[in-house]
Amino acid sequence: MLKGVILTGGHGTRLYPLTKVTSKHLLPVGNEPMVFHSVKQLTTAGITDILIVTNPEHVGDFASALGGGKDFGCEFTYRVQEEAKGIAHALALAEGFAGGDRIVVLLGDNIFETSIQHAVNDFQAQQRGARVLLKEVSDPERYGVATLNGNHIVAIEEKPEHPKSNYAVVGAYFYDASVFDIIRTVEPSARGEYEITAVNNTYIDRGELEYSLVQGKWVDAGTFDSLTEAHQILLNSSDDQ
């Protein structure tokens, strides 16, 4: 069984003042709040047990927007990340929810033009380990960058000055139950956060990290420009349906 985790913490400072009174992940993208996109990515892939991790000031807003899950054909659980200490720190809050099951983790500000169903299928076919989604980009220095050797990822470097490839690791991660033991071994980075790249590199060291490629357009909607792009992607995809 796969369970879903959507991470919606952070303060959205790059989108201020839009985020002065609401979470970035509740801003409109396409015709609905941004987080609805992540929810629908999971539910259309057959994942209906979903955890929302957010910060204390916005948990009530998410509960109001999403409810218990009836409108989406799923069931929501909510957890509060008291301090913004990185993606891996937020993901650690999902251990009890996961209950030993494998999980699909989405960052709530990542917008995909097409379904991630293919990557979910790839992950389900794996015997063990983890999987990430990669997208070839023109500005890889902004992201975690994967170094590839054939069909394998040999390293991931976070925001490198001189990227070894153009393949960015996007905000969709697939993990087996050992991810929580790995998170406990991660040390804070120079910026004081528990980085998901450190978790993924541990899987690489174990020879247990696979990847799928993003199909269609993808954007991390964390800036005004990328928010506009995300809006257009979803409006165009809804027009095509």
DSSP-derived 3-state class of residue 72 = helix
Q: What pLDDT shows up at residue 241?
A: 47
Closest CA to 26 of 115, 18, 232: 18
How far CA 221 is from CA of 28, 123, 208, in Å, comes to 11, 25, 29
Q: What pLDDT shows up at residue 162?
A: 92
Q: What pLDDT shows up at residue 240?
A: 52
Closest CA to 180 of 104, 102, 99, 92: 92
- State pTM to two decimals: 0.94
Q: What pLDDT shows up at residue 226?
A: 87
Task: Yes or no: say if 190 and 158 are a contact pair by the CB < 8 Å rule.
Answer: no
What are the residue ranges spanned by the domains of the chain? 2-240
User: What is the spatial distance between Cα 72 and Cα 178, in angstroms, rounded to a whole number?
Assistant: 29
Residues of the chain with pLDDT under 70: 238-241
H-helix segments, the chain: 34-44, 59-66, 87-92, 95-98, 117-125, 179-183, 196-205, 224-240
Domain spanning 2-240: CATH 2.60.40.10: no
